[in-house]
């Protein structure tokens, strides 16, 4: 299909593009506009072009002399004793676990000469299945962050670990000896899932009777409280999306940020994959006030303000027969269809509500799941077996009652994300803070101890479904950090125990000394512990509900429909703020807004017009008695009069990358989210948004289909070409991307950055369109600006068979290999950028400046030695992970048992493929009809981008398939492409 | 009015043009020649080391196999420089007092590695893999020369891209049977026919397809 037919439903990337403002047209037309460089006009630039030519002529002559000299002298430094199992230049792989609050993902880390360089998911770990999220990928950068805390501090002065250890033990033993009951020393941590650390805490609390354990989770406390009230104990929910045919989410971002989200994305994508010809496809309904990636995959997304959402939950509960629920939306077609669909799939359905929602919402949701028979099938509740903990708010009460003399804070930052605590902390005589950074909380502590990074520690963690896995270090602590367990050991009076001793001693006790050694070795190798029979899931007893006050989700807590209300969310960039100093994450565009390096207040277009603001205008937001200034960003699909405030920015002591970036939404009291006022502040703030870069101007880019409707494959028109067919290698490489599976999470982008040593460029350069990501996710809206569908399309290099970039390079720096790769040779590139100019997909990135950090020593350890580190002035682009291809080919060829010159299908996985939670990307041999990628490309809905240009890309897409409910009227019932 | 330039000026003008052209050509030729000379490639230049390790003694006289020290040459991109413990395998027992071995003993005792000056070097943007070469019948001697005759190490070949391409374009001439890869003395058959036959047979048995060997991404990633 050419671009002759007018688009049936226009796809658009931004409101400016939709409307076609004159500024947008000018911007889009001029990719390398000189306005971007040093803000000069064309007239001013005129003279400098001549200068440039003069310099070019001179430098050409000089370059010829300098270019061909021998490489500088190098030293070879062998070992004194080679460490066991290490072959030079061959990476080793170690299984460990990465945690983030209650999330734990089993990973396998690639270690080059003892340096961890890349994180992959552990296929044997149920929370990973081989994939990870963006935060796990970024840990490699966090490990070598030079801003990490490097010294023990006592009142801001450098001190020693021994001094701290002595004082800690003294403080606690004084407590015990004086028989002070209850203890005035307490513990404050984030959520902990580590069995060995929980055991330590139990023992610590036993040794110090009356010691309280405060647990602070900046996101997600309400759900925990609700579940505790219903089940009378701490339980962890886990969902089985593979068993669910119908999923209804009330503002729960299943595919981002909650424990198990990587697995949930995989199970969801498996429920709508091509393998069964889409004959039995799951269905996702999402009702949310603000767009999320889960909402973007919904077959029916309903925009609902928090008040409306509350009404939806309760009305649905009433329809499903839950006593006490009142149906206030009797004629709602959407709700009718949803209820019918749920009842038709009782036992195979799932209803979830977001973790930030009021306790009452979770009560209704659990009861609905129980009524549908889903408990034990698609949702189960696991007892968490943790010692009793208290939430942070009680700490303030206890401090005021003078019950807290000493506080040990482990790996949490309440001064930043729960600022109400700050005055209370000032009244505690002795605070010890253990953390990765000398952050906001460390500044208020008596002692600060640098914490060992997860990649430097021993430990263990429990995943969303109860699977326990070990944490093993990849490298000795770079900065003399101590793990939280070592600090607790000191508190327990066991100062000489290393974290290895602590973890292995605990498991030796649990498993029994006889079989421990073999079990321990297996656990470390597999990355999953075979623990003694886990506790049975907790059954839900309807009777337990009866005693509860079924608080209605009343208007008084959620505001009225006419009044502005606020929604707080963890951000895609920093989560709850802990990753603020991670440049990879800061520069990763938010999946919905495509905003980098900042957070902004999300408003719908109508609401923004009402307040007379637009994207980039700064507004003053008042919630209760706190006012914060924030820039606005207009988000299509946002509910009216609802402002979303992403959490995790506005930090003051995050490090050189993260401090001062964005505004701090934690300053607000989230309980008062209905008392919101917004006023323009009269100034603007520049926002670095990537969405408008490289627009594609109405061409046939994205295609969607409806499941189970007949679709004919469009006949492939092969245009004649004057270039000879020249590729003679037996295996030809290609890639297939399934748009049905892609959730837009950006894991591929950051995995590629980690694998290929891609630099970050900073906010100013991103504003000029110079972000260096080799694979980007383009986000398209479809339909009406108030309620659009949202689509994600990953765009790597297409590796065109007739690549337009190849013939135009004056020095031959980009060639075509015999196995179909479009190669990039950095040492030949002289930076004319003609190739990037000619690329219709705009996937070639240029190093305009020395973006790669060559100075910072610690950064050098995490670079992948298999990939060149590029300097200023060269073009780079996706290579289909050619280092992985070549290494796999060599390994297959030199295999002592079965040398072969054809690498088996599935052995080579590109970095983007390997990390993708939904397995949307498949790489393989397109010359082999039996390979997975060939089978995908043979499907009728496979298509290439800009086919009419005859570039013959090796990267093709499978059109997105949705499964709308025919009983719900709306535009999603038609097939469409732009 | 009298002519500004005498007829002699023509001669000077021509000489100047010829001289300019000639000097540009000379600079170009000099650059060309310099790049290929051992000034640039350091071919055949002995390199001083902390410990004057003699391959001639260890390989030639004693008969150590290359792989005794360069252990990962068949498995990995990097052939491997032996750790101090390999040296001490023997030198704990023999030549235990020798002055030349003092740095080795010091390294062993203080647990600080020995520092060697690299002789055979490629630029950082070249990703060379030893294992594929060794497994496909390229003898050590092909690239590193007769180390069993080197009292001190030097680069036997220029290691320029041109030199690598000479083989990559036509590998047959440089192949040897798999059991002779680590042999110092092996010579191909004297008769031309036998040699050609053997080379063809080796290309077959090693399954070497020159197409693809000259792809840029084979060495540059």
What's the whole-number average pLDDT of chain A?
88
Cβ–Cβ gap B215/A68 under 8 Å = no
What pLDDT score does A700 carry? 75
Q: Is residue B108 included in any domain, yes or no?
A: no
Kindly state whether residues B27 and B75 are assigned to the same domain.
no
Kindly state whether residues B150 and B211 are assigned to the same domain.
yes
Q: CA nearest B136 in A: which residue? A: A894
Q: What is the pLDDT of residues A379-388, one digit of tens each?
A: 999 888 888 8
Q: What is the pLDDT of residues A402-447, one digit of tens each?
A: 999 999 999 999 999 999 999 999 999 999 999 999 999 999 999 9
| Residue A379 CA from chain centroid, whole number | 24
Could you please report the per-residue DSSP string of chain B? ---SS-THHHHHHHHHHHHHHHHHHHHHHHHHHHHHSHHHH-BT-----SS---HIIIIIIS---HHHHSTTTTTSSS--PPPHHHHHHHHTTSSTT-GGGHHHHHHHHHT----EE-SS---TT----HHHHHHTTB-HHHHH--GGG-SS--B-S---HHHHHHHHH-GGGGB--GGGTT-SS----SSHHHHHHHHHHHHHHTT--STTTT-GGGT--
Kindly state whether residues B35 and B124 are assigned to the same domain.
no
Phi, psi of A334 (to 5 degrees): -60, -50
DSSP letter assigned to residue A902: S
Q: Is residue B210 included in any domain, yes or no?
A: yes
Rounded to whole angstroms, the Cα distance separating A654 from A660 reads 8
Residues 6+ apart with CB under 8 A from A468: A195, A460, A461, A462, A528, A529, A531
Q: Work out the number of other CB atoms within 10 angstroms of the CB of residue A950.
A: 15
Cβ–Cβ gap B125/A826 under 8 Å = yes
Write the residue in B42, B81, B125 that is nearest to A868 by C-beta: B125
Q: Is residue B90 included in any domain, yes or no?
A: no
Q: CA nearest B209 in A: which residue? A: A729
Say if residue A176 is exposed, middle or buried (CB neighbours under 10 Å; 0-12, 13-18, 19+): middle
Hunting for tokens 């490699």 — which residue is that? A140
Q: Is residue B17 included in any domain, yes or no?
A: yes
Candidates B41, B138, B162, B215: best to mutate against A (most CBs of A within 10 A) is B215
What pLDDT score does A551 carry? 52
CA distances from A225 to A186, A192, A502, B89 (A): 21, 16, 31, 65
Kindly state whether residues B68 and B18 are assigned to the same domain.
no
Write the residue in A81, A728, A866 that is nearest to B83 by C-beta: A81
Residue predicted with more confidence, B126 or A545 = B126
Averaged pLDDT for residues A831-844: 96
**What band does A5 get if pLDDT is binned at 50, 70 and 90?**
very low
Kindly state whether residues B132 and B162 are assigned to the same domain.
yes
**What band does A36 get if pLDDT is binned at 50, 70 and 90?**
very low
Rounded to whole angstroms, the Cα distance separating A185 from A176 reads 10
| 8 Å CB contact between A756 and A117 | no
Kindly state whether residues B75 and B178 are assigned to the same domain.
yes
Rounded to whole angstroms, the Cα distance separating A234 from A226 reads 10
Residues 6+ apart with CB under 8 A from A253: A261, A292, A293, A294, A295, A354, A569
Bridge-partner residues for A284, per DSSP?
A247
Chain B residues with beta carbon closer than 8 angstroms to that of A882: 217, 221
Candidates A73, A74, A76, A755: best to mutate against B (most CBs of B within 10 A) is A76
Structure-block tokens of residue B196: 């050609």
Q: Is residue B70 included in any domain, yes or no?
A: yes
Instruction: Name the nearest CA neighbour of A929 among A905, A947, A903.
Output: A905
Chain A residues with beta carbon closer than 8 angstroms to that of B74: 894
Kindly state whether residues B189 and B166 are assigned to the same domain.
yes
Q: Is the pLDDT of residue A555 over 50?
A: no
Q: Is the pLDDT of residue A46 over 70?
A: no
Averaged pLDDT for residues B10-39: 92
Cβ–Cβ gap B114/A890 under 8 Å = no
Q: Is residue B62 included in any domain, yes or no?
A: yes
**What band does A178 get if pLDDT is binned at 50, 70 and 90?**
low
Would you mind telling me the total number of residues written for chain A in this entry? 978
Residue predicted with more confidence, A124 or A11 = A124
* Ordered strands of the A152-154 beta sheet: A157-159, A152-154, A447-450, A430-435, A406-410, A185-189, A213-215, A390-391
What pLDDT score does A25 carry? 62
Phi, psi of A918 (to 5 degrees): -105, 5
Rounded to whole angstroms, the Cα distance separating A201 from A489 reads 10
**What band does A35 get if pLDDT is binned at 50, 70 and 90?**
very low
Kindly state whether residues B162 and B202 are assigned to the same domain.
yes
Cβ–Cβ gap B121/A74 under 8 Å = yes
Candidates A71, A80, A726: best to mutate against B (most CBs of B within 10 A) is A80
Range of the domain at B215: 54-81+120-219
| 8 Å CB contact between A666 and A577 | yes
Residues B90-119 as b/e (b if ≥16 CB within 10 A, e otherwise) read ebeeeeeeeeebebbbebbeeeebbebeeb
Kindly state whether residues B142 and B206 are assigned to the same domain.
yes
Write the residue in B114, B116, B217 that is nearest to A821 by C-beta: B217
Residues 6+ apart with CB under 8 A from A621: A566, A601, A627, A628, A629, A630, A643, A645, A668, A676, A677, A678
Q: What is the pLDDT of residues A453-504, one digit of tens each?
A: 999 999 999 999 999 999 999 999 999 999 999 999 999 988 888 999 999 9
Structure-block tokens of residue A46: 């005129």
Chain A residues with beta carbon closer than 8 angstroms to that of B124: 71, 868
Kindly state whether residues B35 and B58 are assigned to the same domain.
no
Write the residue in B31, B42, B124 that is nearest to A70 by C-beta: B42
Domains in chain B, number = 2
Q: Is the pLDDT of residue A903 over 80?
A: yes
Q: Is residue B72 included in any domain, yes or no?
A: yes
Averaged pLDDT for residues A647-663: 96
Q: Is residue B174 included in any domain, yes or no?
A: yes
Write the residue in A90, A866, A893 that is nearest to B135 by C-beta: A893
What pLDDT score does A27 carry? 55
Chain B residues with beta carbon closer than 8 angstroms to that of A76: 81, 115-118
Both ends of chain B: CA-CA distance in Å?
69
Kindly state whether residues B66 and B167 are assigned to the same domain.
yes
Kindly state whether residues B61 and B18 are assigned to the same domain.
no
Give percent of chain A with pLDDT exceeding 90. Answer: 71
Cβ–Cβ gap B83/A74 under 8 Å = no
What pLDDT score does B205 carry? 94
Phi, psi of A630 (to 5 degrees): -145, 145
Residues 6+ apart with CB under 8 A from A909: A884, A923
> Does residue A785 have a cis peptide bond before it, meaning omega lies within 30 degrees of 0?
no
Cβ–Cβ gap B116/A894 under 8 Å = no
CA angle at A685 for the pair A683 and A688, rounded to the nearest 5°: 160
Q: Is the pLDDT of residue A3 over 60?
A: no
């Amino acid at each position: 299909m050419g671009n002759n037919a007018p688009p049936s439903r226009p796809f658009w990337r931004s409101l400016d593009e939709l409307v076609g403002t004159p500024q947008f047209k000018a911007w889009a037309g001029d990719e390398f506009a000189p306005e971007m460089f040093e803000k000069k006009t064309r007239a001013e630039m005129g003279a400098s072009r001549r200068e440039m030519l003069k310099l070019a002529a001179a430098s050409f002559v000089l370059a010829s002399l300098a270019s061909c000299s021998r490489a500088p002298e190098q030293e070879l430094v062998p070992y004194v004793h080679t460490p066991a199992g290490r072959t030079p230049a061959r990476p080793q792989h170690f299984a460990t676990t990465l945690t983030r609050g209650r999330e734990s993902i089993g990973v396998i880390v690639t270690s080059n000469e003892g340096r961890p360089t890349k994180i992959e998911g552990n296929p044997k770990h149920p929370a990973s299945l081989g994939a990870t999220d963006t935060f796990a990928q970024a840990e490699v950068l966090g490990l070598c962050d030079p801003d990490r805390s490097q010294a023990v501090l006592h009142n801001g002065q450098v001190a020693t670990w021994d001094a701290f250890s002595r004082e800690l033990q003294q403080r606690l033993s004084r407590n015990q000896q004086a028989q002070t009951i209850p203890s005035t020393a307490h513990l404050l941590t984030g959520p902990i899932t580590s069995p060995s650390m929980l055991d330590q805490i139990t023992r610590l609390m036993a040794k110090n009777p009356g010691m309280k354990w405060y647990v602070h989770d900046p996101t997600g406390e309400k759900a925990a409280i609700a579940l505790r009230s219903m089940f009378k104990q701490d339980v962890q929910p886990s969902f089985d999306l593979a068993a669910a045919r119908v999923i209804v989410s009330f503002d729960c971002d299943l595919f981002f940020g909650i424990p198990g989200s990587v697995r949930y994305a995989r199970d969801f994508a498996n429920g709508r994959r091509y393998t069964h010809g889409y004959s039995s496809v799951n269905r996702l309904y999402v009702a949310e006030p603000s767009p999320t990636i889960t909402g973007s995959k919904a077959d029916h997304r309903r925009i609902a303000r928090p008040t409306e959402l509350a009404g939806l939950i309760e009305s649905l509960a009433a329809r499903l027969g839950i006593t006490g629920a009142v149906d206030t939306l009797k004629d709602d077609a959407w709700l009718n269809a949803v209820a019918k669909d749920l009842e038709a799939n009782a036992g195979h359905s799932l209803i979830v509500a977001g973790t930030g929602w009021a306790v009452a919402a979770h009560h209704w949701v659990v009861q609905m799941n129980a009524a549908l028979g889903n408990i034990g099938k698609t949702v189960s509740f696991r007892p968490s077996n943790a010692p009793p903990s208290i939430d942070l708010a009680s700490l303030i009460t206890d401090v005021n009652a003078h019950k807290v003399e000493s506080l040990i804070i482990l790996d949490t930052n309440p001064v930043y994300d729960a600022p109400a605590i700050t005055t209370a902390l000032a009244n505690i005589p002795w605070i010890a803070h253990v953390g990765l950074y000398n952050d906001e909380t460390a500044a208020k502590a008596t002692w600060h101890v640098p914490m060992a990074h997860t990649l430097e520690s021993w430990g263990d963690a429990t995943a969303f479904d109860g699977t326990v896995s070990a944490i093993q270090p990849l490298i000795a602590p770079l900065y003399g950090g101590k793990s939280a367990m070592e600090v607790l050991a000191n508190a327990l009076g066991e100062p000489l125990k290393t974290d290895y001793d602590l973890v292995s001693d605990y498991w030796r006790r649990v498993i029994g000394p006889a079989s421990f050694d073999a079990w321990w070795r297996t656990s470390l190798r597999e990355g999953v512990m075979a623990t003694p029979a886990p506790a049975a899931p907790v059954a839900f007893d309807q009777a337990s509900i009866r005693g509860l006050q079924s608080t209605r989700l009343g208007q008084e807590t959620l505001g009225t429909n006419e009044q502005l209300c606020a929604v707080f969310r963890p951000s895609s960039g920093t989560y709850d703020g802990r990753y603020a100093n991670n440049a990879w994450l800061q520069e990763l565009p938010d999946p919905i807004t495509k905003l980098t390096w900042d957070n902004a207040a999300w408003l719908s277009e109508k609401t923004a017009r009402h307040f007379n603001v637009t994207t980039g205008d700064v507004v003053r937001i008042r919630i209760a008695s706190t006012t914060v200034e924030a820039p606005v960003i207009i988000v299509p699909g946002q509910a009216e009069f609802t402002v979303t405030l992403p959490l995790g920015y506005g930090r003051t002591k995050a490090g050189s990358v993260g401090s001062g970036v964005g505004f701090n939404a934690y300053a607000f009291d989230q309980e008062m989210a209905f008392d919101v006022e917004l006023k323009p502040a009269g100034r603007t703030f520049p926002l670095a948004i990537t969405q408008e870069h490289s627009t594609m101007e109405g061409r046939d880019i994205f295609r969607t289909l409806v499941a189970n409707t007949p679709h004919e494959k469009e006949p492939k028109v092969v245009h004649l070409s004057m270039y000879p067919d020249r590729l003679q290698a037996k295996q030809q490489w290609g890639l297939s991307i399934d748009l049905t599976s892609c959730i837009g999470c950006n894991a591929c982008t950051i995995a590629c950055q980690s694998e290929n040593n891609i630099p970050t460029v900073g906010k100013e350069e991103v504003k000029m369109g110079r972000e260096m990501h080799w694979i980007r996710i383009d986000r398209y809206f479809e339909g009406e600006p108030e309620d659009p569908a949202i689509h994600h399309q990953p765009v790597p290099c297409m590796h065109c068979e007739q690549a337009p970039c190849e013939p135009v390079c004056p020095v031959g720096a980009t060639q075509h290999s015999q196995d179909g790769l479009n190669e990039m040779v950095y040492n030949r590139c002289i930076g004319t950028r003609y190739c990037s100019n000619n690329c219709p997909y705009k996937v070639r990135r240029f190093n305009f400046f020395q973006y790669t950090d060559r100075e910072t020593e610690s950064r050098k350890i995490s670079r992948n030695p298999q990939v060149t580190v590029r300097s200023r002035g060269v073009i780079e682009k996706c290579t289909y992970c050619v280092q992985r291809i070549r290494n796999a080919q060599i390994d297959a060829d030199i295999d002592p048992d079965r040398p072969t010159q054809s690498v088996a299908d599935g052995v080579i996985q590109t970095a983007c493929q390997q990390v993708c939670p939904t397995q949307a990307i498949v790489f393989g041999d397109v010359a082999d009809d039996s390979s997975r990628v060939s089978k995908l490309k043979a499907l009728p809905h496979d298509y290439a981008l800009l086919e009419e240009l005859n570039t013959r890309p090796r990267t093709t897409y499978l059109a997105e398939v949705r499964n709308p409910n025919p009983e719900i009227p709306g535009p999603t019932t038609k097939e469409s492409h732009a | 009015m009298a002519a500004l330039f005498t007829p002699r000026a023509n001669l000077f003008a021509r000489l100047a043009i010829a001289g300019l052209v000639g000097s540009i050509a000379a600079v170009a030729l000099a650059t060309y020649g310099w790049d290929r000379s051992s000034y640039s490639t350091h071919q055949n230049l002995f390199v001083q080391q902390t410990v004057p390790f003699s391959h001639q003694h260890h390989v030639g006289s004693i008969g150590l196999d290359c792989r005794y020290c360069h252990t990962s040459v068949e498995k990995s991109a990097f052939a491997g420089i032996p750790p101090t413990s390999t040296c001490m395998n023997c030198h704990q027992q023999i030549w235990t007092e020798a002055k030349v071995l003092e740095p080795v003993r010091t390294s062993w005792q203080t647990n600080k590695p020995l520092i060697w000056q690299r002789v055979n070097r490629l630029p950082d943007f070249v990703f060379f893999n030893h294992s594929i070469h060794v497994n496909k019948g390229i003898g050590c001697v092909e690239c590193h020369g007769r180390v069993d005759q080197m009292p001190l190490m030097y680069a036997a070949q220029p290691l320029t891209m041109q030199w690598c391409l000479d083989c990559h374009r036509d590998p047959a001439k440089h192949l040897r049977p798999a059991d002779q890869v680590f042999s110092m003395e092996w010579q191909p058959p004297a008769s031309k026919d036998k040699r050609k036959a053997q080379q063809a047979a080796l290309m077959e048995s090693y399954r070497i397809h020159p197409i693809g060997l000259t792809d840029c991404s084979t060495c540059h990633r």
